[in-house]
Structure 1
């Protein structure tokens, strides 16, 4: 369910419930099977791909997939109408969520250090600010299918990057409501294009992001801090149909309530993840009650 809420990371939820690294392993097997099938190599490709698929943990994947499909189906029936009826309040909630999400990369690596890191934050913030202020597509507002596929490919990165929300990216690009409406209305063409883009992104980006997290984690988190800050532009509660920022309404102070509610939701997720990581790092006592080496911490601050 949290994967349908902008600003709340499905990767963080996977960390909280203790299945994050298992899911990443399964994604690696899927990517390996896809690459084996697409890579030239003779008739043995199918056998090698089948070997990768046999390594999949269906006892994990099937319940997760069933839960995600059910949650997205339910959210698509509720959220589009709610956003259309209360656009200012909805954006205020999302604003609070994304603002609180800035704490995720900051908690992972601390405040930026030096001119280089502050420059990365500034560039990422400015770039995201400009992109998030672009007007939506002209005409009937239906996004072009290539844009849908590219957005889906990038949004799937939330699977391997805790703290990053795929729905948040769709919201910034103006594809959040169209995607939920497509699920609600069973727009099979849109869903198929989105699904193909997600599969392509999984095959393309998962290995790259895993490598970046391992070798350039701090730089990646610093850039993500700037991206989250710049994206707040897209969530300014008062804006028109072409995303022009407007002055607040006379009762603007009442929007502080949904902003705080959104921030509290994400803040609660961060606290849960932090406690889950602390439990994973607690030492395990051997039979003679001598403390052994602690288990590795699993969370945004460590692998």
Structure 2
């Protein structure tokens, strides 16, 4: 989940969804943040184990990607495309019971597909390289980061477009990755803005967990159709990911696309699916 959340493309929520513990994850977050004391105690062990793995994985990714993302943007983006393309049929197969017979909801899928290009077209960052400096401790930047975190973390837990993709759209992905990397190298000027972003993440988790839990309980078919649309639409953001760098590069094209890296991304999800099936068989035999 941490690897998926730290890069644009597939969200950590998609990974949880594909591995079969997504609804437990959403329910646990909801209970821990908004539930009773008894519900918090019941949810804590699961979230603690998941959180330790997520934080460790995220920090490793940040240390690696803060350099690689600038140098090998097209190769990494090709991996993201493979992950996303593989996720679409897997989600459809996993949820075919709820998708079958509700084909009018394809309109919702079309809306999901359109959301990302529309957001990208409205963003002043694409093609211009925002150059946002998170060492700037202004109140306006703190408020912007707080709101951006609420929006991004909502996507982070939703099976579909990743929070990192939305951060790309808002021009915050590279600045945030660079800021976290700088703090890990003991450059503490970035801490206030990272705290503002962290508080926004907590608020976003509380809001999104409640809303998503309700949507999956009452409107599961519509929600899955929307998630599929968001997944497909996120391909557009990945292709334009290079234009959001502080020193923007041209959008990915057929010449800069790497098929081998794309296949590697698809293979990652295939391996996860095999692991899931083995775990399910092992559990059923006990």
TM class by shorter-chain length? 0.7 to 0.9
SS of aligned partner of 1:185: helix
Match of 1:81 among 64, 67, 75: 67
Report the alpha carbon displacement of residue 240 of structure 1 after superposing the two structures with TM.
3.9
Q: Which moved more, 1:70-79 or 1:240-249?
A: 240-249
Match of 2:105 in 1: 117
Q: 1:32 maps to what in 2?
A: 34
Matched, 1:150 2:110: no
Q: Shift in Å at residue 219 of structure 1?
A: 0.4
CA-CA distance at 1:184 after TM superposition: 1.1
| Matches of 2:176 and 2:133, distance apart in 1 | 10
* Structure 1 Cα separation of the partners of residues 130 and 172 of structure 2: 15
Is contact 1:160-1:210 (8 Å) kept?
no
| Distance change (3 Å), C-alpha of 1:239 and 1:205 | closer
Give the direction of change, closer, same or farther, for the CA distance of 1:198–1:239 in structure 2 (3 Å limit).
Answer: closer
Do the aligned partners of 2:117 and 2:233 also contact (CA within 8 Å) in 1?
Answer: yes
The 3-state SS of whatever aligns with 2:167 is: helix
Asked whether the 8 Å contact 2:31–2:43 carries over to 1, the reply is no
Flag the structure with larger Rg: 1
Distance 1:22 1:226 in 2: 23
What is the TM-score of this pair, normalised by structure 2?
0.75
Which blocks of at least 5 consecutive residues in structure 1 are unaligned? 34-48, 285-303
Flag the 1:28–1:256 CA change in 2: closer, same or farther, 3 A.
same
Judged with a 3 Å threshold, the aligned counterparts in structure 2 of structure 1 residues 118 and 57 are, in CA distance, closer, same or farther, namely closer
Partner of 1:140: 131
Counterparts of 2:208 and 2:252, CA distance in 1? 37
Correspondence 1:1-303 to 2 at 5 A: 1-2=2-3, 3-11=5-13, 13-14=15-16, 23-32=25-34, 51=37, 55-56=41-42, 58-110=44-96, 116-133=104-121, 134-136=123-125, 140-142=131-133, 144-157=141-154, 161-162=158-159, 165-186=162-183, 187-236=190-239, 240-241=243-244, 245=251, 247-249=253-255, 252=256, 255-277=258-280, 282=284
Higher helix share: 2
Residues in 2 aligned to 1:243 and 1:274: alpha-carbon distance in whole angstroms: 41
Change (3 A) 1:230 1:15: closer
Alpha-carbon contact 1:105-1:225 (below 8 Å) kept:
yes
Query: What TM-score do you get using the length of structure 1 for normalisation?
Result: 0.71
**CA displacement, residues 175-203 of structure 1 (integer Å, 9 cap, x when unaligned):** 33222212111221222111111111122
Task: Return closer, same or farther for 1:65/1:247 CA change in 2, 3 Å cut-off.
Answer: closer
| In 2, Cα distance between equivalents of 1:88 and 1:58 | 39
